């Protein structure tokens, strides 16, 4: 296993209380795999991404669990070692809205070269930038431009090029297409699939758009209120989901073949005071007594699906 | 040249957009001044009690069109008419006060479009008091019920509401004054999938209960398909296709509409290892002349580069601006 996240807890210590944004979440990523992290806003999907990069913003803290990269717990390393050997070198991230992450006053090329310099890249910087631009299907001439001279889709591809600068083994893509038009979105999706095929890179794809995710991921983790509700191969998650939340979420996706969409009544619980039992119990149409008393454990099925729900006990 | 107005030949319209162009100039200080045609010669109409979906990508002019129909954007050329109670108002030429009596807007971001420090009651009472309306309390309660918000929330401050509740309040604020026409600009975009369905239902309910016509602006095609009677597709300021919602989705005629529908994600895990064939180039290029879509179009002919196609009715009530037809 390339990356294993075990029982990760990320809490935010605010004046209102402790917000349990990620609470005992576990996930795995194999070499060459594209794994989806999906859920609504506040589900903790981006926070897990930041956790793996060890970039959880203040007042958040990783308060428990392990993150194993090829067996080594990267949470135990000191910041300097992690920064030098792991962040961006082994694990890189394309942030949400990262197309606006370039400084407007420097050329794209110089911003990528800065990354190469800081991480002491061995080789010709200019050549590397050219190589990276070809990897993301862009004309290397565009590297000489300033960010505002590129379109949204081009900037996003350039940022992906920057993320690939040091040949990372894991790429975390947090909503990489959210602000882009659908035709450009399709183009970025194709690019990620090509990168996986050509470079064997492993990708964690974080998104709220389940239809989009279904077109790219091998396996998925469905998160709700900081917990993994269900995980499994995409064929199961999207075609035969077991958890009532996964089912409701898939029913609520608006696609062109639907004449109406069902919503999920209610809203996500306050994570500073989550409900006892299953965290979905306040919105679940099938909740029974035990769901309000005790938290369900993960059940593993032979088809690879894992579900935390009392319905299947 | 006289062009037949798409579905505007009937007298049963509330909004009529006639050869509307809105042009902006960009640059000037550090760069060359360029003229941006945000909208170029657009004609369409919205019938009474109709929901017209306006779809397009960023830069298509859909928000500019919405704003122009309620007088927030002055036309550079052309006119916008509002027809209420038998009289016709030229929106671009009348005072905002005169137009505001009949129109309202619902915004994309429920966090920035409503003052978080106001009481929910005051958000709804203010527009009514401003118009010196009677039965304020009864109408507020009525609006709250319409958008499915519990009356207990009236005393709460706006910041205490969730995102979904705030968007309901945004709709309540728009409909509480009994407008005849409402522009909803991406009303579901900021909301989670689980909340979108509810918001669409509320908009439909409001149409029935209060006889309101809507322009629903969205980049999410399925949302437009689910809620609207007809869909207008905009591309770089041009109306490229207009027709019944089902028609547009099932039988799109314009190559741009086809590409949009084709690229829209579907729930389909079988696609995960496949690279989808892209018939249309991803980057937008604005041509000097000819059809605006020609530089990206897989079917472009010599004619398309030279001359701009006009909107034509190719089957009953289905209009397209393309030389293929």
- Dihedral Cα B202, B203, B205, B206, nearest 10 deg: 120
pLDDT band of residue B96 (cuts 50, 70, 90) is confident
Secondary structure (DSSP) of B21-64: EEEEEE--SSS--EEEEEEEEEEEEEETT-EEEEE--TTSSHHH
Range scoring the smallest mean pLDDT among B68-72, B124-128, B269-273? B269-273
In this structure, what DSSP letter does residue B321 have?
A: -
Which candidate, A201, A181, A188, A194, places its Cα nearest to that of A158? A188
Secondary structure (DSSP) of A241-298: --SHHHHHHHHH---TT-S------S-PPPTTSPPSS-TTTTT-TT--GGGGTSPPPE
Choose among A153, A183, A255: nearest Cβ to B222.
A255
Q: How far apart are CA B211 and CA B213, in angstroms?
A: 7
- Residue B312: its H or E element: strand B312-315
For B36, phi then psi, to 5°, come to: -105, 120
Which candidate, A275, A214, A237, A296, places its Cα nearest to that of A34? A214
Cβ of A156 under 8 Å from any chain B Cβ?
no
Q: Token pair of B62, please? A: 């859909």
Cβ of B195 under 8 Å from any chain A Cβ?
yes
Interchain CB distance below 8 Å, A183 and B259: yes
Task: Answer yes or no: is pLDDT of B25 > 90.
Answer: no
C-alpha separations of B209 from B49, B126, B173 in Å = 10, 22, 15
Interchain CB distance below 8 Å, A152 and B58: yes
Q: What is the pLDDT of residues A118-135, one digit of tens each?
A: 999 999 999 999 999 999
Give me the mean pLDDT over the A48-55 stretch.
96
Q: Token pair of B210, please? A: 């209060």
For B66, phi then psi, to 5°, come to: -60, -45
What pLDDT does B320 receive? 97
Q: Which residue in B has a C-alpha nearest to residue A155's C-alpha?
A: B283
End-to-end CA distance of chain A: 29
Q: What mean pLDDT value characterizes chain A?
A: 93
Cβ of B280 under 8 Å from any chain A Cβ?
yes
Q: Rounded to two decimals, what is the model's pTM? A: 0.90
Q: How far apart are CA B97 and CA B71, in angstroms?
A: 10
Cβ contact B14:B182 at 8 Å? no
Task: Answer yes or no: is pLDDT of B323 > 70.
Answer: yes
pLDDT band of residue A144 (cuts 50, 70, 90) is very high
What pLDDT does A100 receive? 81
Interchain CB distance below 8 Å, A40 and B223: no
- Residue B68: its H or E element: helix B62-69
How open is the CA angle B296-A150-B290, to the nearest 5 degrees?
30
Give me the mean pLDDT over the A28-39 stretch.
96
What pLDDT does B20 receive? 96
Choose among B193, B264, B265: nearest Cβ to A208.
B193
What pLDDT does B119 receive? 95
Neighbours of A83 (CB within 10 A): 15
Q: How distant is the Cα of B175 from the closest Cα of chain A, in angstroms?
A: 22
Cβ contact A164:A173 at 8 Å? no
Task: Answer yes or no: is pLDDT of B36 > 90.
Answer: no
Interchain CB distance below 8 Å, A194 and B275: yes
pLDDT band of residue B3 (cuts 50, 70, 90) is very low
Q: What percent of chain B has pLDDT over 90?
A: 76
Cβ of B284 under 8 Å from any chain A Cβ?
yes
What pLDDT does B2 receive? 44
Q: What percent of chain A has pLDDT over 70?
A: 100
- Residues counted in chain A: 313
What pLDDT does A267 receive? 83
What pLDDT does B8 receive? 43
Contacts of B63 (CB under 8 A, 6+ apart): B185, B217
Interchain CB distance below 8 Å, B273 and A193: yes
Contacts of B110 (CB under 8 A, 6+ apart): B163, B166, B167, B169, B170, B190
Q: How distant is the Cα of B230 from the closest Cα of chain A, in angstroms?
A: 14
Choose among B163, B221, B282: nearest Cβ to A256.
B221
Task: Answer yes or no: is pLDDT of B10 > 60.
Answer: no
For A301, phi then psi, to 5°, come to: -105, 160
Secondary structure (DSSP) of A151-194: -HHHHHHHHHHHHTTT--SEEEEESTTTTS-HHHHHHHHHHHHH
pLDDT band of residue B281 (cuts 50, 70, 90) is confident
pLDDT band of residue B58 (cuts 50, 70, 90) is confident
Which of the two residues, A257 and B81, has the higher pLDDT score?
Answer: B81
Q: What percent of chain B has pLDDT over 70?
A: 96
Which of the two residues, B181 and B190, has the higher pLDDT score?
Answer: B181
Q: Tokens 């809203």 appear where? A: A267
Q: Give contacts of A211 with chain B, Cβ < 8 Å.
A: 265-267
- Dihedral Cα B101, B103, B109, B115, nearest 10 deg: 0
Give me the mean pLDDT over the B76-83 stretch.
96
Task: Answer yes or no: is pLDDT of B226 > 50.
Answer: yes
Task: Answer yes or no: is pLDDT of B1 > 50.
Answer: no
Q: Tokens 């005071």 appear where? A: A273
Q: Which residues of B114-133 are buried (b: 16+ CB within 10 A; e: fewer)?
A: beeebbbbebbbebbeeeee
Question: Could you tell me which residues are beta bridge partners of residue A192?
Answer: none
Which of the two residues, A184 and A77, has the higher pLDDT score?
Answer: A77
What pLDDT does B213 receive? 97
Q: What mean pLDDT value characterizes chain B?
A: 91
What pLDDT does A276 receive? 95
Cβ contact A5:A52 at 8 Å? yes
Neighbours of A77 (CB within 10 A): 16
Q: Give contacts of B218 with chain A, Cβ < 8 Å.
A: none
Choose among A34, A238, A265: nearest Cβ to B267.
A238
Give me the mean pLDDT over the A97-112 stretch.
90
What pLDDT does A152 receive? 86
Q: How far apart are CA B159 and CA B167, in angstroms?
A: 12
Q: How distant is the Cα of A247 from the closest Cα of chain B, in angstroms?
A: 11
Q: What is the pLDDT of residues A231-284, one digit of tens each?
A: 999 999 999 999 999 999 999 888 898 888 888 888 889 899 999 999 999 999
Q: How far apart are CA B271 and CA A129, in angstroms?
A: 31
Give me the mean pLDDT over the B87-97 stretch.
91
Which candidate, A146, A303, A154, places its Cα nearest to that of A232? A303
Task: Answer yes or no: is pLDDT of A82 > 70.
Answer: yes
pLDDT band of residue A70 (cuts 50, 70, 90) is very high
Q: List the domains of chain A with CATH numbers.
A: 3-90+168-262 (3.40.50.300)
pLDDT band of residue A300 (cuts 50, 70, 90) is very high
Q: How far apart are CA B71 and CA B291, in angstroms?
A: 29
Q: What is the pLDDT of residues A172-217, one digit of tens each?
A: 999 999 878 898 899 999 999 999 999 999 999 999 999 999 999 9
Task: Answer yes or no: is pLDDT of B86 > 90.
Answer: no
Q: How distant is the Cα of A289 from the closest Cα of chain B, in angstroms?
A: 24
Task: Answer yes or no: is pLDDT of B4 > 70.
Answer: no
């Amino acid at each position: 296993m390339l990356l294993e996240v075990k029982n990760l807890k990320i809490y935010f210590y605010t004046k209102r209380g402790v917000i349990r944004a990620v609470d005992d979440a576990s996930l795995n990523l194999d070499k060459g795999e594209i794994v989806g992290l999906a859920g609504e806003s506040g589900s903790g999907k981006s926070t897990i991404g930041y956790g793996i990069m060890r970039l959880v913003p203040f007042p958040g803290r990783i308060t428990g669990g392990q993150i194993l990269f090829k067996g080594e717990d990267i949470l135990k390393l000191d910041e300097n070692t992690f920064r030098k050997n792991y962040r961006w070198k082994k694990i890189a991230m394309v942030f949400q809205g990262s197309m606006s992450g370039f400084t407007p006053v420097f050329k794209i090329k110089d911003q990528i070269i800065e990354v190469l310099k800081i991480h002491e890249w061995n080789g010709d910087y200019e050549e590397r930038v050219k190589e990276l631009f070809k990897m993301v299907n862009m004309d290397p001439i565009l590297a000489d431009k300033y960010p505002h001279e590129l379109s949204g889709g081009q900037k996003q591809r350039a940022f992906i090029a920057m993320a690939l600068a040091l040949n990372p083994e894991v790429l975390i893509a947090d909503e990489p297409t959210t602000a882009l038009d659908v035709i450009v979105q399709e183009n970025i999706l194709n690019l990620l699939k090509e990168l996986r095929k050509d470079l064997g890179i492993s990708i964690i794809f974080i998104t709220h758009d389940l239809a989009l995710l279904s077109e790219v991921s091998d396996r998925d983790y469905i998160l709700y209120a900081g917990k993994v509700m269900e995980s499994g191969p995409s064929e199961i998650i999207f075609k035969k989901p077991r958890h009532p939340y996964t089912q409701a979420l898939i029913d609520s996706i608006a696609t062109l073949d639907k004449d109406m969409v069902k919503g999920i009544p209610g809203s996500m619980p306050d994570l500073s005071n989550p409900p006892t039992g299953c965290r979905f119990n306040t919105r679940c149409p099938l909740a029974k007594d035990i769901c309000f008393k005790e938290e369900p454990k993960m059940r593993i099925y032979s088809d690879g699906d894992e579900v935390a729900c009392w319905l299947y006990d | 040249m006289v062009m037949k107005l798409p579905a505007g030949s009937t007298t049963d319209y509330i909004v009529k957009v006639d050869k509307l162009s809105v042009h902006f100039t960009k640059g000037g200080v550090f760069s060359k001044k360029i003229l941006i045609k945000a909208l170029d010669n657009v004609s369409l109409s919205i019938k009474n009690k109709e929901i017209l979906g306006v779809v397009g990508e960023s830069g298509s002019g859909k928000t500019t069109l919405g704003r122009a129909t309620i007088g927030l954007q002055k036309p550079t050329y052309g006119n916008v008419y509002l027809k209420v109670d038998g009289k016709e108002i030229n929106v671009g030429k009348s005072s905002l006060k005169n137009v505001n009596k009949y129109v309202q807007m619902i915004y994309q971001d429920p966090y920035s479009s409503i003052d978080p420090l106001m009481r929910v009651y005051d958000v709804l009472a203010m527009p009514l008091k401003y118009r010196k309306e009677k039965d304020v309390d009864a109408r507020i309660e009525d609006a709250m019920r319409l958008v499915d918000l519990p009356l207990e929330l009236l005393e709460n401050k706006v910041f205490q509401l969730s995102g979904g509740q705030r968007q309901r309040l945004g709709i309540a604020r728009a409909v509480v004054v009994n407008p005849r026409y409402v522009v909803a600009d991406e009303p579901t975009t900021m909301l989670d999938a689980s909340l979108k369905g509810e918001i669409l239902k509320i908009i439909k309910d409001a149409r029935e209960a209060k006889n309101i016509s809507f322009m629903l602006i969205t980049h999410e095609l399925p949302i437009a398909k689910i809620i609207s009677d007809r869909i207008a597709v905009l591309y770089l300021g041009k109306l490229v296709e207009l027709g019944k919602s089902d028609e547009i989705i099932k039988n799109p005629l314009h190559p741009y509409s086809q590409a949009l529908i084709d690229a829209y994600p579907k729930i389909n895990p079988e696609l995960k290892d496949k690279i989808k064939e892209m018939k249309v180039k991803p980057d937008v290029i604005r041509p000097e002349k000819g059809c605006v879509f020609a530089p990206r179009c897989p079917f472009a002919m010599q004619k398309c580069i030279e001359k701009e196609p006009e909107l034509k009715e190719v089957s009953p009530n289905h209009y397209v601006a393309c030389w293929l037809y």
